[in-house]
């Protein structure tokens, strides 16, 4: 038989396909065997445990205030969280030393079960000053770049490990229904489909292959309906139908589960009046049984005492953030519940098995201590290059007239206006070093003004509050926006609080002052959500939505001066007026007849 080129090609293709299928089968077999071994180890360990040891494994505490170091062992603690409060040490070496000390306490117990160390690393290892801080998720959603999000997440995992952690409470895969919600920036987009893609990329980056020594446990949060509460109230009531929950809110979780996410955090909100922490139908019947999730379901802050105590355990929550005085109440209350048969021992065993399973998958029984060689990676130039790329790709150009952008590097005189231009804390938003963020510059970060000065070849002057008499300026770059906030502190509510859907009168004045002088005006908006800035966009020659860029402010300057073009696209439709938000949800979700100022996906280039 004559072997034609076509025949040979087909033969090679078939051989390649068979080889690929065989490799896939082998990999699945190896994975199946590894899981079987882990399950045997989990069952053997569980059989040796006392009730006190099991309840201890279900307890997560802070490394300060909640416990003494010895109580790590005497109360058989399963996990430690670092959050707002005293730092574990003065530098990364000190952080590792503290967590090593606590781990040794856990390993000194009869069964030697290692601790999980968790942290809210939501845009980099943001609890450690000097780490690489990336744009918040709303900015990453604007990039549409899944490969970049995976890189960002890998770096976050690495720098978290370098400071002693093996568990990250990220990504947030909420779908925000209303910009009044104080956590809009923690989510990727109002689009379910985009959130699915970005959530999977984040999980892959954070977890990769769990025991490989360069990865940590990821957490999809907050389950479920956190971004869809009425009027955007943090922890409020979500009154949407179960059909809408299934079609809009569950898909990112389904995809995260397929990607292997190791834990799920339950939400503060109620769903049709029932606290999500006590919602057995969704936690156990839907998430664990129907969707097949075999990882850890963890409560949010003080979830036990706030949402029904043992009802929370019966609903399917496996680990409790027993903080702010909750530890004894939780451990004693759960033990009494078991003794009185209001909580079954099977439910306890299920919870502990899930916790032990992830500890084995992470390889903590073999390698329980942090790796000191990773410390040098924190805030490295390579990591900051990726963060700078993320900043550039996140920027969305909403308007560009009169050839305002790109700015010529040889422009004779540029005036930069606004406190946000010269303050890396303000440009980074909440969850940056402190829970509520910073209003000061922090270590390792570069301000927007620094970036402008490093590129511009002419004179650059800084006019913090638009009171300077710079009528001879060729162009004004005005940086305005929100002050940092996190969680319910950022809720807008009835408009009487600190945060509003509009710019402050002072920031509106910055723009009006320079626009009225006839100076070409470029506005850069720093915000955790789309704001109603219709009038300010009209006043400006160019307007850029920069979200919360993080530590690399010079990424903004690189795009303004044309070293890179704008590629970002809106992850949210942009509101036209405050009146658009007078009902339960934002205009994109309750009234299709209202035309937004800019549609979802809008974004200009030069």
pLDDT for 17 equals 58
Q: Which of 564, 529, 521 has the alpha carbon at shortest distance from 546?
A: 529
pLDDT for 583 equals 81
Q: Which of 269, 540, 301, 320 has the alpha carbon at shortest distance from 418?
A: 540
Alpha-carbon separation of residue 122 from 125, 137, 167, 320 (angstroms)? 7, 8, 12, 20
pLDDT tens digit sequence for 249-297 = 999 999 999 999 999 999 999 998 999 999 999 999 999 999 999 999 9
| 382 given a catalytic annotation | no
Q: What does the alpha-carbon distance between residue 204 and residue 259 come to, in Å, rounded to a whole number?
A: 7
| 474 given a catalytic annotation | no
Residue 211 has pLDDT above 90, yes or no: no
Give the torsion sign (CA, 322, 328, 332, 335).
positive
pLDDT for 25 equals 58
- Active-site residue, selected from the candidate residues 145, 150, 186, 300: 300
Q: What does the alpha-carbon distance between residue 414 and residue 473 come to, in Å, rounded to a whole number?
A: 6
pLDDT tens digit sequence for 535-574 = 999 999 999 999 999 999 999 999 999 999 999 999 999 9
Hey, which residues does 459 pair with through a beta bridge?
Answer: 413
The secondary structure of residue 246, as a DSSP letter, is I
Q: What does the alpha-carbon distance between residue 355 and residue 349 come to, in Å, rounded to a whole number?
A: 10
Say how many Å lie between the first and final Cα of the chain, rounded. 60
pTM: 0.93
The secondary structure of residue 184, as a DSSP letter, is G
Residue 320 token pair:
């409790």
pLDDT tens digit sequence for 3-57 = 555 555 555 556 655 665 665 555 556 667 888 999 999 999 999 999 999 999 9
- Active-site residue, selected from the candidate residues 487, 541, 552, 554: 487
Ramachandran class of 478: left when φ > 0, alpha when ψ lies in -120 to 50, beta otherwise: beta
pLDDT for 268 equals 98
- Cβ distance 570 to 602 under 8 Å? yes
pLDDT for 10 equals 56
Mean pLDDT of 484-511: 93
Instruction: Kindly report the number of other CB atoms within 10 A of residue 366's CB atom.
Output: 9
Q: Which of 524, 526, 529, 525 has the alpha carbon at shortest distance from 490?
A: 529
pLDDT for 582 equals 80
Residue 14 token pair:
């078939």
Identify the burial level of 60 via C-beta atoms within 10 angstroms of its C-beta, where 0-12 means exposed, 13-18 middle and 19 or more buried. Answer: buried
pLDDT for 330 equals 98
pLDDT for 309 equals 98
pLDDT band at 234 (very low <50, low <70, confident <90, very high): very high
Give the strand order in the sheet containing 263-266. Answer: 219-223, 263-266, 296-298
The secondary structure of residue 288, as a DSSP letter, is I
Alpha-carbon separation of residue 470 from 196, 410, 416, 593 (angstroms)? 48, 18, 10, 44
pLDDT tens digit sequence for 432-467 = 999 999 999 999 999 999 999 999 999 999 999 999
């Amino acid at each position: 038989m004559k072997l034609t080129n076509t025949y040979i090609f087909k033969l090679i293709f078939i051989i390649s396909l068979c080889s690929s299928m065989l490799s896939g089968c082998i990999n699945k077999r190896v994975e199946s065997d590894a899981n079987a071994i882990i399950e045997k180890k989990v069952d053997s360990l569980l059989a040796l445990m006392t009730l006190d040891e099991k309840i201890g494994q279900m307890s997560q505490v802070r490394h300060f205030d909640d416990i003494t170091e010895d109580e790590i062992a005497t109360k058989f603690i399963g996990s430690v969280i670092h959050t707002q409060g005293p730092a574990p040490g003065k530098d990364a070496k000190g952080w590792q030393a503290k967590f090593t000390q606590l781990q040794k306490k856990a390993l000194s117990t009869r069964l030697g079960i290692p601790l999980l160390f968790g942290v809210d690393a939501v845009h980099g290892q943001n609890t450690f000053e000097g780490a690489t801080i990336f744009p918040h998720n709303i900015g990453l959603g604007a990039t549409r770049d899944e490969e970049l999000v995976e890189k960002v997440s890998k770096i976050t995992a690495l720098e978290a490990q370098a400071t002693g952690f093996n568990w990250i409470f990220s990504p947030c895969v909420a779908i925000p229904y209303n910009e009044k919600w104080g956590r809009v920036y923690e989510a990727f987009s109002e689009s379910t489909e985009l959130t699915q893609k970005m959530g999977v990329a984040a999980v892959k980056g954070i977890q990769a292959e769990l025991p490989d020594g360069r990865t940590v446990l990821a957490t999809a949060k907050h389950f479920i309906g956190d971004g869809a509460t009425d009027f955007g109230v943090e922890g409020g009531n979500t009154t949407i139908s179960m059909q809408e929950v299934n079609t809009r809110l569950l898909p990112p979780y389904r995809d995260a589960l397929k990607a292997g996410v190791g834990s799920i955090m339950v939400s503060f909100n109620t769903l049709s009046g029932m606290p999500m922490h006590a919602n057995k139908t969704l936690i156990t019947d839907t998430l664990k049984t129907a969707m097949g999730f075999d990882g850890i379901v963890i409560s949010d802050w003080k979830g036990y005492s706030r949402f029904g105590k043992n009802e929370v355990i019966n609903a399917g929550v496996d680990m409790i953030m027993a903080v702010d005085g909750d530890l004894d109440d939780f451990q004693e209350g759960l033990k009494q519940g078991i003794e009185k048969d209001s909580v079954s021992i099977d439910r306890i065993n299920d919870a502990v098995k899930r916790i032990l399973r992830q500890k084995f998958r992470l390889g903590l029984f073999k390698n329980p201590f942090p790796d000191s060689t990773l410390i040098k990676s924190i805030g490295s130039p390579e990591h900051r290059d990726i963060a700078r790329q993320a900043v550039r790709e996140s920027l969305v150009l909403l308007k560009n007239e009169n050839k305002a952008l790109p700015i010529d590097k040889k422009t004779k005189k540029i005036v930069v206006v606004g406190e946000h231009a010269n303050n890396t804390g303000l440009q980074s938003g909440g969850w940056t070093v402190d829970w509520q963020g910073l209003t000061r510059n922090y270590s390792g970060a570069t301000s927007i003004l620094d970036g402008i000065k490093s590129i511009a070849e002419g004179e650059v002057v800084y006019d913090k509050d638009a009171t300077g008499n710079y009528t001879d300026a060729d162009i004004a770059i005005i940086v305005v926006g929100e002050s940092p906030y996190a969680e319910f502190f950022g809720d807008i509510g009835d408009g009487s609080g600190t945060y509003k859907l509009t710019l402050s009168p002072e920031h509106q004045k910055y723009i009006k002052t320079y626009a009225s002088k006839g100076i070409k005006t470029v506005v850069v908006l720093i915000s955790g959500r789309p704001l109603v800035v219709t009038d300010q966009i009209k006043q400006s020659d160019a307007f850029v939505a920069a979200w919360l860029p993080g530590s690399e402010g010079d990424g903004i300057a690189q795009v303004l001066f044309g070293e890179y073009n704008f590629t970002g696209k809106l992850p949210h439709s942009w509101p036209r007026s405050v009146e658009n938000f007078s009902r339960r949800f934002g205009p994109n979700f309750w009234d299709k007849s209202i035309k937004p100022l800019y549609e979802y996906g809008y974004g200009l280039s030069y």
